[in-house]
Chains A and B, each alone.
Chain A
Amino acid sequence: MINLVVKDLNKNFGGLHVLKGVSFEINGPELIGLIGPNGAGKTTLTNVLDGAIKPNSGTVYLDGIRIDQLQPFEVARHGLGRTFQVTRSFRRMTVLENLLVPALALDQGLSRPEIHDKAMEVLEFLTVDHLRNEFAQSLSGGQQKLLELGRLLMLNPDVIILDEPFAGVHPKLMEIIYKYIERVNNDGTAIILISHQMDSIFSLCKRLLVLNYGDLIADGTPDVVKNDPTVIEAYLGVDEDDEGH
């Protein structure tokens, strides 16, 4: 049973308090949306969860193991994978090689042919198998997003953080990403989905976390969050007329 416990996370950059005592818990293969205006702290939270940034205080436990002081590669090996807001494929490596990196790094006891077959399965699912020997730099932006998702499948993590997977993606490729999210989630992986595309967030997620200037201001079902006055205020601002009352 997947269990991610984030407790009282704080992160400062100089005088800027980017995460202010953020706490939440994920139990089982939930599909959670993480939303918030620009500068809310979503990417910082992701970086803290994956070990790229160490928090000033607070703890993160994944399946009973404390991961907030581990190196990113150790966090990945413990079962937390992520994508990046701006796609970061290994551009001068082939598509297939991009997929081999996490599989070999994880050392799951599979032979090279088995890893190769698994990579080909993933590429077929993502409909980019015909590009397997092309360098990643020759792929379109959307295809590179798919490649990043494919790498995560090879990592086989318990928890996945998808940072803006729909940004700048063609509708046809977006369908594939939708299918990907549903399949991975149905296979038992918890997903934290960060996106500014509210339609996607509301149609996919059954639970939403809302960050605003480092504060976790809401945690609930999409219907509850949608009608939460604090969330509306954070997204739309306060009407000047209302402010006086």
Chain B
Amino acid sequence: MTKQQTPLIMGIVIILFFAVFPFVYTGTNYPYVMHIIIAGFYYAILTSSWSMLSGYGGQFSFGHMGFTGIGAYTTALFCHYIYLSPEATNICTEFSIGSQYLVFVNPIGITSSTLVQDCLREALTIWDGSVQVTPMPVWLGIILGIAMGGLFGLLIGLLVLPLRAAYLALFTLGFTEILRAVISSELAITRGQAGLELPMLFENGINLFGKHYDKTDKIPPYFVMFFLLLICLGILYWLAQSKFGLFIRALREDQDAAAALGVNTTKYKIMLFVITSMMAAAAGAFFAHYIGIISPNNLMILQMSLVVSMAVIAGIENIFAAAIGAIIIEFTLEMLRSSFDIPIIGIEVDMTIWRLVVFGALLMITLRLSRNGIIAPIITYFSRGHVAEETVAKRKTSNANEESA
């Protein structure tokens, strides 16, 4: 095994570890640990795609959580408001599709399960169990969510074309805040801060490895998020190695120089926004179906700061470092939740608050001492550690050749 192969071997070991973990871990806090890892996978998708956008492409966007929200809310609204019915309700807005009716439930806001019934519930009451309506498939909602994320990514990409650095960051921050404000205020449709409920990823359970898993079991969503992360990392790695990766790095370094060398900077900037937005939307949509509820709080600036901090601490210019860092940091932050007493002075340290102080301090130290994070330089050490030696050796050879000539 050569030194350069070390990151690859470590990558395979990490993948194998997470592939077998749910079957070998037997702790009493199994559901809790599994939940943290699933959340870790979610953040890993967000940080690695944000790392591609900001670290590789130099587009320092604060809109990533906005795209997450677009993905989650698109599938939530789709699954919440649209049903298939074999009979016409004659109360709801509906369209016939073959022998079925596509029923659009009227929005009634946060009172839907208490005071006022929506049109479909009214129809179901009238039918008294004689007609069964079918909810829309979750996978279709997720696909729509991803597509909507891509569409908004395209729009934002077009709007931010002339913007660079701080202006881009402020613009995208404004976009997320507008989105959050709209979702919060449109109570009738989105239920505002009360949140919108979604069907679970596997509402009727699923058979895996010869065993039936209930909709609340952790193993199915664990592997869904794990494979989604692997797919996203695979796509990001392939893009990073292709001419797309080369061009967006040139774009980051010097947009004008890249254009003067024939790179269509507009096209690649927009493509970068669309691809990374779709990944954020996919993560948001899948995670929302795993949690079962989505609220505007998921779009808060604090969440975006968490993603940015994870990427910065791990290493913004390496997608794998960003992904690994996100999982480690998410796990560490959760583990730090336990409060403890300092016996001599009799003070209880409330770690629910202090853990964020620890996190903030780590971020500041990283920024001060290691601009490219903690994990990325380790990967660089193994993958590029030989370069300096090679350069010196080549220089000596060429000098010797010159002298002998």
Given contacts A52-B256, A84-B257, A93-B253, contact A133 B391 (CB under 8 A): yes
Given contacts A50-B260, A73-B259, contact A93 B265 (CB under 8 A): no
Find chain B residues with CB under 8 A from A131 CB: 391
Q: In this complex, what residue of B is CB-closest to A105? A: B262
Whether A97 lies near B246 (C-beta < 8 A) is yes
A55 CB to nearest B CB, Å: 17
Kindly state whether residue A92 has any CB partner on chain B within 8 Å: yes
Chain B, 254-274, contact with A by CB distance < 8 Å: what is the 0/1 string? Answer: 101111111111100000000
Find chain A residues with CB under 8 A from B384 CB: 133
Whether A101 lies near B259 (C-beta < 8 A) is no
Whether A76 lies near B262 (C-beta < 8 A) is yes
Partner of B250, one of A76, A81, A93, A127: A93
Partner of B265, one of A73, A77, A106, A134: A73
Given contacts A104-B243, A105-B247, contact A90 B253 (CB under 8 A): yes
Whether A100 lies near B260 (C-beta < 8 A) is no
Partner of A72, one of B243, B256, B317: B256
Q: In this complex, what residue of B is CB-closest to A98? A: B250
Given contacts A73-B265, A90-B249, A93-B250, contact A130 B260 (CB under 8 A): no
Whether B390 lies near A105 (C-beta < 8 A) is no
Kindly state whether residue B394 has any CB partner on chain A within 8 Å: yes
Q: What separation, in Å, do the CA atoms of A131 and B293 have in the docked complex? A: 54
Find chain B residues with CB under 8 A from A102 CB: 261-262
Given contacts A101-B247, A104-B246, contact A73 B264 (CB under 8 A): yes
Whether A134 lies near B259 (C-beta < 8 A) is no
Whether A101 lies near B395 (C-beta < 8 A) is no
Q: In this complex, what residue of B is CB-closest to A93? A: B249
Chain A, 31-74, contact with B by CB distance < 8 Å: what is the 0/1 string? Answer: 00000000000000000001010000000000000000001110
Whether A129 lies near B394 (C-beta < 8 A) is yes
Kindly state whether residue B369 has any CB partner on chain A within 8 Å: no
Kindly state whether residue B208 has any CB partner on chain A within 8 Å: no
A53 CB to nearest B CB, Å: 11
A73 CB to nearest B CB, Å: 5
Given contacts A100-B246, A134-B391, contact A81 B253 (CB under 8 A): no
Q: What separation, in Å, do the CA atoms of A129 and B394 have in the docked complex? A: 9
Kindly state whether residue A82 has any CB partner on chain B within 8 Å: yes
Find chain A residues with CB under 8 A from B256 CB: 52, 72, 88
Interface size on A, residues (CB 8 A): 31
Q: What separation, in Å, do the CA atoms of A50 and B265 have in the docked complex? A: 15
Whether B259 lies near A130 (C-beta < 8 A) is no
Kindly state whether residue B332 has any CB partner on chain A within 8 Å: no
> What secondary structure prevails in chain B residues at the interface with A?
helix
Kindly state whether residue B125 has any CB partner on chain A within 8 Å: no
Find chain A residues with CB under 8 A from B249 CB: 90, 92-93, 97
A191 CB to nearest B CB, Å: 16
A57 CB to nearest B CB, Å: 23
Partner of A101, one of B258, B388, B391: B258
Q: What separation, in Å, do the CA atoms of A134 and B384 have in the docked complex? A: 9
Scan residues 5-52 of chain A and give those whose CB is less than 8 A from a CB of chain B. Answer: 50, 52
Kindly state whether residue B112 has any CB partner on chain A within 8 Å: no
Partner of A151, one of B261, B265, B266: B261
Q: In this complex, what residue of A is CB-closest to B254? A: A88
Kindly state whether residue B387 has any CB partner on chain A within 8 Å: yes
Q: What separation, in Å, do the CA atoms of A82 and B266 have in the docked complex? A: 20
Partner of B259, one of A76, A89, A90: A76
Whether B246 lies near A101 (C-beta < 8 A) is yes
Partner of B391, one of A73, A104, A130: A130
Kindly state whether residue B398 has any CB partner on chain A within 8 Å: yes
Kindly state whether residue A155 has any CB partner on chain B within 8 Å: yes
Q: What separation, in Å, do the CA atoms of A2 and B376 have in the docked complex? A: 48
B244 CB to nearest A CB, Å: 10
Kindly state whether residue A179 has any CB partner on chain B within 8 Å: no
Kindly state whether residue A91 has any CB partner on chain B within 8 Å: yes
Q: In this complex, what residue of A is CB-closest to B402? A: A127
B153 CB to nearest A CB, Å: 22
B248 CB to nearest A CB, Å: 11
Chain B, 218-262, contact with A by CB distance < 8 Å: what is the 0/1 string? Answer: 000000000000000000000000010011011011101111111
Whether B263 lies near A101 (C-beta < 8 A) is yes
Q: What separation, in Å, do the CA atoms of A134 and B246 have in the docked complex? A: 16
Scan residues 103-148 of chain A and give those whose CB is less than 8 A from a CB of chain B. Answer: 104-106, 127, 129-131, 133-134
Q: What separation, in Å, do the CA atoms of A84 and B266 have in the docked complex? A: 21
A182 CB to nearest B CB, Å: 21
A91 CB to nearest B CB, Å: 6
Q: What separation, in Å, do the CA atoms of A129 and B398 have in the docked complex? A: 10
Q: What separation, in Å, do the CA atoms of A72 and B257 have in the docked complex? A: 9
Partner of B398, one of A82, A93, A130: A130
Q: What separation, in Å, do the CA atoms of A71 and B161 have in the docked complex? A: 14
Whether B257 lies near A88 (C-beta < 8 A) is yes
B398 CB to nearest A CB, Å: 6
Q: What separation, in Å, do the CA atoms of A84 and B254 have in the docked complex? A: 12
Whether A90 lies near B262 (C-beta < 8 A) is no
Find chain A residues with CB under 8 A from B265 CB: 73
A146 CB to nearest B CB, Å: 15
**9 A–B pairs (Cβ distance < 8 Å), ordered by A:** A71-B266, A72-B256, A72-B259, A73-B262, A76-B260, A104-B243, A104-B247, A106-B262, A130-B394
Chain B interface residues (CB < 8 Å from chain A): 243, 246-247, 249-250, 252-254, 256-266, 317, 384, 387-388, 390-391, 394-395, 397-398
Chain A interface residues (CB < 8 Å from chain B): 50, 52, 71-73, 76-77, 81-82, 84, 88-93, 97, 100-102, 104-106, 127, 129-131, 133-134, 151, 155
A-B pairs, top 4 by smallest CB distance, nearest first, are A130-B394, A105-B262, A90-B253, A76-B262
